Structure 1
């Protein structure tokens, strides 16, 4: 494996985004851009990254503004600046551009088919990227897809949040009750003794690892403007207007666990897939894993199969693109 670091100034003008370009041994056949979720960082995906490298794919990954190495550099967590919804998408697009520039310098890596894999919040960012890069995208993978989230669709006090995000305290932490509304119902299926992040995984070791990872900092207070940006981006990619922006021939893979509240316990995954098919996108595969929660790519019982779904998908769409 060859590893390069990529850094650039975030669209927020404040942060230096930290990214990585992983290249496999031998001649690669595709590029997978990995887009991580809320309150985590891209190196939590090293097992998946290794699997993708072994399959002959280049991997591009970075830490969003307010997250991971990017946040440790700025000292600012869980905030992406004004218009956070646009910032994180622009940064993901910029990372793609930077990586393309480096790959394009060598004939062996120039012009490779490009697949975007987004998990959770990353599934929202990935969907928002599609209209910007649709002509150059070979496939889209949505893991732990954020869809039909009860808190956003039925509970969040949108007027109160909008007022805070537009005020002079927008960069300060949002009130706990508003943040709690976002995650409404996340623990209701997991018993009275469930910890605050029990929804992440069925496996206790995965949950514990998530909690002790200093680059995750999942408990960092979300700024009001960041929370507003999260809701805005969710609305954008789950709204009716998004589906026509997806090229009709774009292959899409949707993954989730049937105990994942982010994906409405699997129903959100089927909803997104069915909406795609109904709007003229025939190449959609959906896999909802029984008995597991949010991180199907980390759950010990589903990790290998989830990775197999992803590598099989990338192999197929890259061959078609070639």
Structure 2
């Protein structure tokens, strides 16, 4: 494996984004961009990264503004600056350009697949209109894990008027009131055992939950700024709205992965909802897997990790085969 570190200035003009390009020892067949979720960082995907490298894929990943090593460097956690919805999508597109420049001829003609988990699934969906307009890399395949859809707190509980007032005020960069943050995660523990810890929704496996909690690059408990919370809601609304489905290229292959005990995806129903809406809006190439008995991080759960990785590798293999059959071998 060859590893390159990339840094670039965030669209918020404050942070220096920390990113990495992992290259397989064999000639690469595709590029997979991993887009991590809320309150975590990209090295939590190293098991998946290793599997993708073994399959002959380049992997590109970063730690978003307010997260992971990027936040370690800036000292600012859980805040992405003004208009966070725009910033995180713009930074993800910039990484594509930076990675392609670093890879040079080694990336020429390779299909680019984006895998986004949780908040990352929102960022990944947010890329598509920009990619279609020529920004970043042409997206040849989209994988959405732990997909944020039909979230009860955002759709039915969050006091949007109060949040909008706070995020537009002089203290927008200050921590949002815990009441508002709690509304975002409303009902996350309702279906679990009595006494379940506050992050029990992350995984069924207790060791995965414990690892998530003790990882200093996670810092999931860092207070979300009001403007970050507003940006999270804004991006959620955008990628779950009617216009998003209309903007997805009709021929784009999509893979949706979730657990049926995951409140982020409405216990699996959100995954089916997104897949069904894609098909109904003229996107026939959609595959959905909802895994029984597991929670949010299906890619980390010991009982589903291997199968999830197999789904992703098979999906990218199919994108590679599909791309190679087109004139010139270029992606959509």
Task: Give the TM-score category using the shorter length.
Answer: over 0.9
Tell me what 1:193 maps to: 195
Gaps in structure 1 of 5+ consecutive residues:
none
SS at match of 1:243: helix
Per-residue deviation, 1:131: 1.4
Q: How does 1:236-255 map to 2 (within 5 A)?
A: 236-255=238-257
In 1, Cα distance between the equivalents of 2:206 and 2:2?
A: 33
Tell me what 2:328 maps to: none
Q: How does 1:6-45 map to 2 (within 5 A)?
A: 6-45=6-45
Tell me what 1:256 maps to: 258
- Considering only aligned residues, what root-mean-square deviation do their CA atoms show, in Å? 0.7
Tell me what 1:96 maps to: 96
**Which of these residues, 283, 294, 297, is aligned with residue 296 of structure 2?**
294
SS at match of 1:221: coil
Tell me what 1:59 maps to: 59
In 2, Cα distance between the equivalents of 1:151 and 1:124?
A: 16
Tell me what 1:229 maps to: 231
Per-residue deviation, 1:28: 0.6
In 2, Cα distance between the equivalents of 1:292 and 1:309?
A: 16
Per-residue deviation, 1:60: 0.2
SS at match of 2:107: coil
SS at match of 1:276: helix
Aligned residues: 320
Deviation string, structure 1 residues 280-321 (Cα, Å, up to 9, x no partner): 000000000000000000000000000000000001011111
**Which of these residues, 122, 129, 132, is aligned with residue 131 of structure 1?**
129
SS at match of 1:61: strand
Moved over 3 A (4+): none
**Which of these residues, 161, 164, 168, is aligned with residue 163 of structure 2?**
161
SS at match of 2:131: helix
Deviation string, structure 1 residues 118-177 (Cα, Å, up to 9, x no partner): 000000000000111247211000000000000000000000000000000000000000
TM superposition score normalised by structure 2: 0.96
SS at match of 2:37: coil
SS at match of 1:259: coil
Q: How does 1:264-283 map to 2 (within 5 A)?
A: 264-283=266-285
In 2, Cα distance between the equivalents of 1:103 and 1:29?
A: 13
In 2, Cα distance between the equivalents of 1:214 and 1:60?
A: 22
**Which of these residues, 106, 112, 124, is aligned with residue 114 of structure 1?**
112
In 1, Cα distance between the equivalents of 2:143 and 2:168?
A: 33
Deviation string, structure 1 residues 230-276 (Cα, Å, up to 9, x no partner): 00000000001100110000000000000000000000000000000
SS at match of 2:173: coil
Per-residue deviation, 1:191: 2.1
In 2, Cα distance between the equivalents of 1:73 and 1:30?
A: 31
Tell me what 1:207 maps to: 209
In 2, Cα distance between the equivalents of 1:186 and 1:319?
A: 40
Deviation string, structure 1 residues 34-75 (Cα, Å, up to 9, x no partner): 000000000000000000000000000000000000000000
Gaps in structure 2 of 5+ consecutive residues:
325-332
